[in-house]
Structure 1
Amino acid sequence: MNYFNVISQNFHAVVTSGHASFAYDDAISIGCGYNNNAQCLGTNIKTIVVCAVTPVRPVSTPLYATGIDCFQNYQCTKPGYNTCDPAMGLCSP
C-alpha cells in the first residue's frame, strides 16, 4: 500500500508528498476517489484519496518498456495503439 500527503486547494486534491508506481504502459484505466470525511478509518486522518489501475501491474515488471520514437502509424504495432504522434514520438489509441 502507498501513502500520500494531500491538501485541498481550490476545490482540488493536491498531492504534496509520497509516491507510487501504479500507472504503467499496459494500464487501460486509472481511477481515483476523494473523501474529505474519512472517519471510518478510526484514526485522525481526515482526507483519503484512493486510486486503482487495471489491469494490475505484476510486481516484477518495469513500468514501461523503452523503444524508438515512431514517426508513422505503421510503426505502432501494439494492439490498440495504432496512431503515431510524430511530435511526441508516441503511439496512442
Structure 2
Amino acid sequence: MQTRWMMVGILALATQALAEDGRYEALPLAGADGGKGGGRALIVDTRDGHVWVWSENELLSSPGGQRRYGSGFIYQGKLRPGTQPGEIIEQQPR
C-alpha cells in the first residue's frame, strides 16, 4: 500500500512538472481491485503514442541477476493514429 501511494505521488509531481494537461491518461486494468496486490494501470502518452503498463506486483530482475517482486513500468511500444474507428493497428517495426 505504501508503494502505491509513493508511485501516485511521483506520477502526480512528474506529470505536473513536465507535461501539459491531459498528455498522459491512465486506465485501470482488470484485476486492479480486490486487495490482492495486483494493481495495474495502462498509461498512454496521448501526444507521442507511447504506452506503458504500471504494475504494483511485477517480477523484477536486479543488475546482479536477483529476482524479486515489486512495482514497475513495462514499456509496451508506440501507437499511431488510426484512420477509422475499429481499425486494427499492426505492431510497428523497431
Superposed pair shares fold, TM > 0.5: no
Larger of the two Rg values belongs to structure: 1
The TM-score, its normalising length taken from structure 2, stands at: 0.26
The TM-score normalised by the length of structure 1 is: 0.26
Say which structure is richer in helix: 2
